[in-house]
Copies of this chain bind each other. A is one copy, B any other.
Amino acid sequence: MKIICLQENLKDNLIVLERICSKNQTLPILGNIILKTQQGSLQLFATDLEIGVEIHTPCKVEQEGEVVLPIKLLSAFIYHLPNIKISIQKKGNYVLITADDFTTKIPTISIDEFPLIPKIQKDVVVEIQPQPFQQGIIQVLNAVATSHTLNEISGIFLNIQPNTMKIVGTDSFRLSEKTVFQKNNYTTTTPQKLILPYKTAYELSKIINQTENVKIYIEKNQILLQLKNTQIISRLISGEYPNYEQIIPKTSKTKITILKNELISKLKLASLFSSKINDIRITTNTHKKELMVFAADQQKGEFQSTITTDMTGESCEATFNYKYLLDGLSNILDDVVLFELNGPTAPGIFKTKQGEYQYIIMPLKI
């Protein structure tokens, strides 16, 4: 193999692949990537066995072939170069990387040791606009149970129906749900329900480019997400996603309209005085139109703040984990948030005015 390519065409792609490569001690080969010439371009491939990412990079192919190289070293090396033309060439059991003023040799290993790249039947199933898809994934990621024993909620749930697509994440303490309406946003040949592993969803949200649609091909246990120059192949999480819709309150006792940043600011101050279980008490007085944020700990002391804001319904009180409150608020892009309360034992809700996003959070039992 021999190719000539620009440093800047390699750099960002190698950073993506470095995140994919696992620190798998029992299978150290996964700390490597494949570089392979293909139809006049360079194909880069990395996998951690759960997810595989293939990126096409423009280059000049002088001799077809393929090599396997350690991603960490390669990525750091290319990163530190200026944006110059570099030559990458296989020579026996090492790879020569050269430019005008340097020569580098990196040992390579046989491609036979590398796991096979899975293939998926390419019947287009779903095609999605990049912007709402990326934003939806980002808005639910922080609610996903990344260290949960229940396998089904360790990923994001995609429920793709003819009129709406729901993107959902939960860890059973809070639940984040984004609705993408069909019109101009996506097409689907058949309704689909699938659970995408957290890492796949996270990487997808990082890789999605604002100018290109995402095409999704689905098989029983795996999925192919096709972008312009990149494809992600991932296993799917098997099992049934919990029937979460039943826990979402249909009506609420107190409905508050509040400035997001004012609530965030007071929650952050209160959090400094919360006890070990991160508890913050929210109390409303709908008569006075006041929301009170309160936290106390025997050693740290206590904090109390009152926000005067628009609200309707009955006065009530509930205690929440402040981290979950802040996570929910951080997922909302608007300046104004609808905040609904249902007393000390039923869920609270953050909603956007448009209603396309909601975040359900269980109170702490004190």
Contacts and interface: CB of A to CB of B under 8 A. Distances in A.
Contacts of A301: 73, 94, 104-107
Interface string A266-308: 1011001100000000000000000000000001111111110
A307 B269 contact: no
A62 B307 CA distance: 28
A349 B361 CA distance: 63
A134 to B, nearest CB: 30
A92 interface: no
A82 interface: yes
Contact of A77 (B82, B103, B272): B272
A86 to B, nearest CB: 12
How extensive is the interface on chain A, given as a class? Answer: 20 to 34
A101 interface: yes
A76 interface: yes
A101 B306 contact: yes
Contacts of A238: none
A365 interface: no
A301 B299 CA distance: 56
Q: Copy number in this complex?
A: 2
A94 B106 CA distance: 64
Contacts of A102: 266, 269, 303-306
Contacts of A94: 301
A183 interface: no
A106 B268 contact: no
A82 B265 contact: yes
Interface in A252-270: 265-266, 268-269
Contacts of A300: 73, 106-107
A101 to B, nearest CB: 6
Given A73-B272, A76-B272, A105 B302 contact: yes
Interface of A: 73, 76-77, 80-82, 94, 101-107, 265-266, 268-269, 272-273, 299-307
- Sorted nearest first, the 5 A-B pairs with minimum C-beta distance are A102-B305, A106-B301, A105-B301, A104-B303, A105-B302
Given A80-B269, A104-B273, A106-B300, 5 more contacts: A73-B300, A82-B265, A102-B266, A102-B304, A107-B300
25 contacts: A73-B272, A73-B300, A73-B301, A76-B272, A77-B272, A80-B265, A80-B268, A80-B269, A82-B265, A101-B305, A102-B304, A102-B305, A102-B306, A103-B303, A103-B304, A103-B305, A104-B273, A104-B302, A104-B303, A104-B304, A105-B301, A105-B302, A106-B300, A107-B299, A107-B300
